[in-house]
Amino acid sequence: MIHLELLFPEARGSDGVSGCCRKSRRAPFAFKYGNNSPQFKRYDLLDSELAPMTAVHGVLVDIYGIGVLITGNSGVGKSETALDLVRRGHRLVADDSVEIRQENEGTLVGRSPDLIQHLLEIRGLGIINVMTLFGAGAVRPFKRIVLCINLELWDQKKAYDRLGLEEEKMKIIDSEITKLTVPVRPGRNLAVIIEVAAMNFRLKRLGFDAAQEFSERLTDVIEEGDHEEFR
């Protein structure tokens, strides 16, 4: 059974309810499903449509369940990388323009504008329809964004992260997500690098951090060397 619940019962009058809605950025009502169950799900009415929204130039791909936002200057190879990822079995959400809504605190959900849904622009080839070419399993309508990978042309004067101990953040609306910078140069397989980055990010969330483990091993080796010198 579906029930309609007033989220601000303490508010009195239309001004009180509207005031609470503006402060909390939430809709006045919510659906409550299966309230006779000890655990039930509650979906806020109109929360998605009323959520703060912005648009980002980039590509959004679902890689092993991780929503990866690929950004970078025009022509760096974002769409070509997304096409390669689709061929590897991952799912395209949006290309060129990603509409991002902050549906809850710390929750960013990206989707494609209706005009360019399922489409990829490949320079020299033109516009292709990913769903028509690869099937319905190659696309999805929306995805929560948890990781941003920024592609930039290789700069020999810049020192890139080689260990992965430091974690950069990217702020979108009022939420922060992890950001990685991947330098682009001939010979680098960007699709594989991004795929592994998503897998490594998922492992970190599960508590397995290869960079931290290496750092601890190195510290142990250095400490053992220092002890041997004083013997």
As annotated, the active-site residues are 57, 78, 96, 162
Closest CA to 174 of 107, 88, 114, 115: 107
Dihedral sign computed on CA atoms, order 222, 225, 230, 231? positive
Which residues share a beta bridge with 69? 60, 148
Spell 106-136 as b/e; 16+ CB within 10 A means b.
eebbbbbeeeebbbbeeeeeeebebeeebee
Checking DSSP bridges between strand 53-57 and strand 42-44, what pairing results, if any? unpaired
CA angle centred on 59, ends 180 and 185, rounded to 5° = 55
- Rounded Cα–Cα distance for residues 123 and 15 (Å): 53
